[in-house]
Amino acid sequence: MSTLITNIAELMTQDVEHRVLKDAAVVIEGERISWLGPASAAPAADDAVDAGGRALLPGWVDSHTHLIFAGDRTAEFEARMAGESYSAGGIAVTVGATRGTSDYDLTRLALGRVAEAVSQGTTYLETKTGYGLDVENETRSARIASTVADEVTYLGAHLVPAGEDPDEYTDLVCGPMLAAVRPYVSWADVFCEQGAFNEEQSRRVLQACKDAGLGLRVHGNQLGEGPGVQLAVEFGAASVDHVNYLSRADVHALADTWSGWESAAGAGERGTVATCLPACDLSTRQPLAPGRELLDAGVPIALASNCNPGTSYTSSMAFCVTTAVLQMRLSIHEAVRAATYGGALALRRESGNDVDGERAVGSIAVGHRADLHLLNAPSATHLAYRPGIPLTHAVWRAGARAR
């Protein structure tokens, strides 16, 4: 079955050549893109969709979410808006609510959040454990996550539960808990921050998870300067997320990880992506991550929602893109790239994988997964020009119409 999408006013491919085509068309064949080019040269297909002069982008790739939770932290949010500062301790409130919720309800809640994201143009999504914090509850979070998300990250090292010894809890995270979640996850993360895990504990978690064959990412430099970025670089993590407080040495260290990467060809050794989470920065009243400076230094960035009940209760990637343009001084092309190709790079999914037949996501090119987002606007610029307006008109996920 093939579908021709034609009459596209602006096709922002986010491919290696950064092409933006006018008066374009795309053909979807099964789950993949089989053709793109000028509408006037489009081949025939089984079915046709008239895009009506709208803009077509890759679907959003949300590379950082925490969707497996129950409960609500409105009171904490209100206190923050009244002047309190964010601390990692709020995680415990969500852990209590999550542990008290059945598998059925936890799955239903997570599926609802995924549906909300997809309806706004997200077509590939990562999510994490981290609200279980014991072997039983981390394992069930990982199992549920593996049924609702495209990529699952183990975050047993999110907070040391009250009353537990930090080093003993770190042993649990690196030992029995890791063994129990391993069948369900392909990534591991550690919240390396004051009030969460210190440098030595974070290093132990990263080493154990690396030894278990997991890809790595780090929550780092969110609440102040610290060792998060340097650890991510040392361990060859795919991303370091938050990155609000960076020293010049941090920025240089991240840039150095990309020295073997040929960005024009999308080839070579990938380094560590800096993932910026602007919705979280606004909700926690932290300074926005220095996305402009990172890009100028040659560090690829991703934009992600960080959807979670504590610091960023939104799945709107469009909101992140809007904020990145209006407040972080990214161009619209850079912001859309960070929310599509950048997220895919952070998940190592920007190119296909011949071994298991996985298709590339995060950009529009022949052979890539047909993850497409049609805006109700003639250009992507409208995402920033019309802030707050819901602009998603249609979504295709792996070739299937999802909205």
Q: Which stretch binds ligand NIG (CB under 6 A): 182-190, 200-208, 244-252, 309-317?
A: 309-317
Helix (H, G, I), strand (E, B) or coil at 34: strand
Q: Distance (Å, rounded) from C-alpha 207 to C-alpha 204?
A: 5
Query: Please, which residues have CB within 8 angstroms of residue 18's CB and are 6 or more apart in sequence?
Result: 333, 337
Q: How far is the CB of 237 from ligand NIG (least distance, A)?
A: 15
CB atoms within 10 A of CB 180: 18
Q: Which stretch binds ligand NIG (CB under 6 A): 87-95, 96-104, 228-236, 374-382?
A: 87-95
Does 217 bind ligand NIG (CB under 6 A)? Our answer is: no
Partners of 217 in the β-ladder:
239
Does 127 bind ligand NIG (CB under 6 A)? Our answer is: no
Contact pick of 222, 244, 305, 351 for ligand NIG (by CB under 6 A)? 222
Q: Would strands 2-12 and 47-58 be described as parallel, antiparallel, or unpaired?
A: parallel
Q: How far is the CB of 31 from ligand NIG (least distance, A)?
A: 31
Does 90 bind ligand NIG (CB under 6 A)? Our answer is: yes
Q: How far is the CB of 102 from ligand NIG (least distance, A)?
A: 21
Does 91 bind ligand NIG (CB under 6 A)? Our answer is: yes
Q: Which is nearer to ligand NIG, 66 or 140 (CB)?
A: 66
Does 191 bind ligand NIG (CB under 6 A)? Our answer is: yes
Does 239 bind ligand NIG (CB under 6 A)? Our answer is: no
Both tokens assigned to 224: 């102040």
Q: How far is the CB of 307 from ligand NIG (least distance, A)?
A: 9
Q: Which is nearer to ligand NIG, 300 or 310 (CB)?
A: 310
Phi, psi of 51 (to 5 degrees): -75, -10
Helix (H, G, I), strand (E, B) or coil at 234: helix
Instruction: For the chain, state the CA radius of gyration.
Output: 20
Listing DSSP states for 159-190 in one string gives -PPTTS-HHHHHHHHHTHHHHHHGGG-SEEEE
Does 314 bind ligand NIG (CB under 6 A)? Our answer is: no
Contact pick of 275, 308, 351, 392 for ligand NIG (by CB under 6 A)? 308
Q: Distance (Å, rounded) from C-alpha 286 to C-alpha 281?
A: 5
Q: Which residue shows structure tokens 């497409």?
A: 372
The count of C-alpha atoms lying within 13 angstroms of the C-alpha of 186, restricted to the half-sphere facing its C-beta, is 11
Contact pick of 280, 324, 335, 394 for ligand NIG (by CB under 6 A)? 280
Q: Which of residues 62-81 bind ligand NIG (CB under 6 A)?
A: 66
Does 257 bind ligand NIG (CB under 6 A)? Our answer is: no
- In Å, how far are 116, 146, 372 from 322, measured between CA atoms? 18, 30, 19
Q: How far is the CB of 276 from ligand NIG (least distance, A)?
A: 12
The count of C-alpha atoms lying within 13 angstroms of the C-alpha of 295, restricted to the half-sphere facing its C-beta, is 19
Q: Which is nearer to ligand NIG, 6 or 311 (CB)?
A: 311
Both ends of the chain: CA-CA distance in Å? 18
Q: Are 158 and 131 in contact (CB under 8 A)?
A: yes
Contact pick of 137, 239, 306, 392 for ligand NIG (by CB under 6 A)? 306
Q: How far is the CB of 57 from ligand NIG (least distance, A)?
A: 25
Q: How far is the CB of 356 from ligand NIG (least distance, A)?
A: 29
Contact pick of 3, 13, 65, 94 for ligand NIG (by CB under 6 A)? 94
Does 291 bind ligand NIG (CB under 6 A)? Our answer is: no
Does 125 bind ligand NIG (CB under 6 A)? Our answer is: no
Residue among 402, 291, 403 at smallest CA distance from 336: 291
Element (H, E) at 60: strand 60-62
Q: Which residues would be at the binding site for ligand NIG (CB under 6 A)?
A: 66, 90-91, 94, 191, 219, 222, 280, 306, 308-311
